[in-house]
């Protein structure tokens, strides 16, 4: 069985250069590939196109890359928790493509499945459909959406083995598995790295064939996005 382990985020990001397109897993503040993002910040990689459900917050997740103005374009669905994102978007410093959340998920899934494009009713008749092909099926209008083309996908899993098999936990399953299937090179960081055979095959969410590099991360933050008290 192929051993896909690399020592750390620095080794995992070998080949990353300016101007690339990345997918980054996470939902809210859950399942964010923190170590990979920190290494991107350290390398000062610039002019990036980042595909992610949201843009983190000002001092966490993709917000760290936005602070350094390393992101040229964001493709996202929900960005309401990041003041710096809002400032850059409104000032014209950041190119933004906002798309329906289900469309983002399906564009990721289609990429992993080798499907170049698909029709969806989401967004028809709105700004989302501007400039896109539309077509009628059974009396209903649909918009043509294309699969993504990302050089790297960075995901964060709860557990993984040295062959790249991954198990995600809770909300981290929302986008991480889809993106793990979609990157030309998928880098997985995990909270716990084990040997092949230690994971229950029935619990594995993503088989190792989709993962090229894996490492055990460190210093993960367990943040609460919206803390509510009585």
Q: What is the pLDDT of residues 12-68, one digit of tens each?
A: 999 999 999 999 999 988 999 999 999 999 999 999 999 999 988 888 999 999 999
pLDDT digits (tens, 9 = 90+) for 85-143: 999 999 999 999 999 999 999 999 999 999 999 999 999 999 999 999 999 999 999 99
Strand residues in 63-116 grouped as ranges (E): 71-76, 95-98
Residue with more model confidence, 181 or 221: 181
Given this model, what pLDDT does residue 82 score? 85
* 160/200 Cα distance (integer angstroms): 11
Q: Which two tokens stand for residue 154?
A: 């960075």
Indicate the pLDDT class of residue 223, thresholds 50, 70 and 90: confident
- pLDDT (average), residues 180-200: 97
pLDDT recorded at residue 80: 79
Q: Is 1's pLDDT higher than 80?
A: no
The verdict on domain 9-102+149-216 having CATH code 3.40.50.720 is no
Integer Cα distance of 153 and 21 in angstroms: 9
C-alpha radius of gyration, the chain, whole number = 18
Q: Which of 90, 91, 86, 85 is nearest to 70 (CA)?
A: 85
Q: Is 150 helix (H, G, I), strand (E, B) or coil?
A: coil
Residue 128 pairs in a beta bridge with none
Q: Indicate the SS3 state at residue 61.
A: coil
The ranges assigned to domains in the chain are 9-102+149-216
What pLDDT, on the 0 to 100 scale, is given for residue 225? 75
CB 84 within 8 A of CB 56: no
With tokens 């051993």, the residue in question is 3
Q: What is the pLDDT of residue 113?
A: 96
pLDDT (mean) for 155-171: 97
- The answer to whether 31 and 171 are in contact (CB under 8 A) is yes
């Amino acid at each position: 069985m192929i051993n896909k382990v690399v020592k750390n985020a620095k080794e995992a990001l070998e080949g990353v250069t300016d101007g690339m397109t990345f997918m980054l897993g996470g939902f809210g503040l859950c399942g964010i590939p923190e170590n990979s993002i920190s290494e991107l910040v350290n390398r000062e990689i610039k002019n990036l196109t980042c595909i992610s459900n949201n843009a983190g917050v000002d001092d966490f997740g993709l917000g760290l890359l936005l602070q350094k103005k390393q992101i040229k374009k964001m493709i996202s669905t929900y960005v309401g928790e990041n003041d710096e994102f809002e400032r850059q978007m409104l000032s014209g410093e950041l190119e933004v493509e906002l798309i329906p959340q289900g469309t983002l998920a399906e564009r990721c899934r289609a990429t992993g499945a080798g499907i170049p494009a698909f029709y969806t009713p989401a967004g028809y008749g709105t700004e989302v459909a501007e400039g896109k092909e539309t077509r009628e099926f059974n009396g209903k209008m649909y918009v043509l959406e294309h699969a993504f083309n990302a050089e790297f996908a960075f995901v964060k899993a709860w557990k993984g083995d040295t062959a790249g098999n991954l198990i995600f936990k809770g909300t981290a399953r929302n986008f991480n598995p889809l993106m793990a299937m979609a990157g030309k090179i998928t880098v997985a960081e995990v909270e716990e790295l084990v040997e092949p055979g230690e994971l229950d095959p029935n619990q594995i969410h993503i088989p190792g064939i989709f993962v090229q590099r894996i490492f055990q991360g460190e210093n993960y933050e367990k943040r609460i996005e919206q803390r509510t008290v009585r």
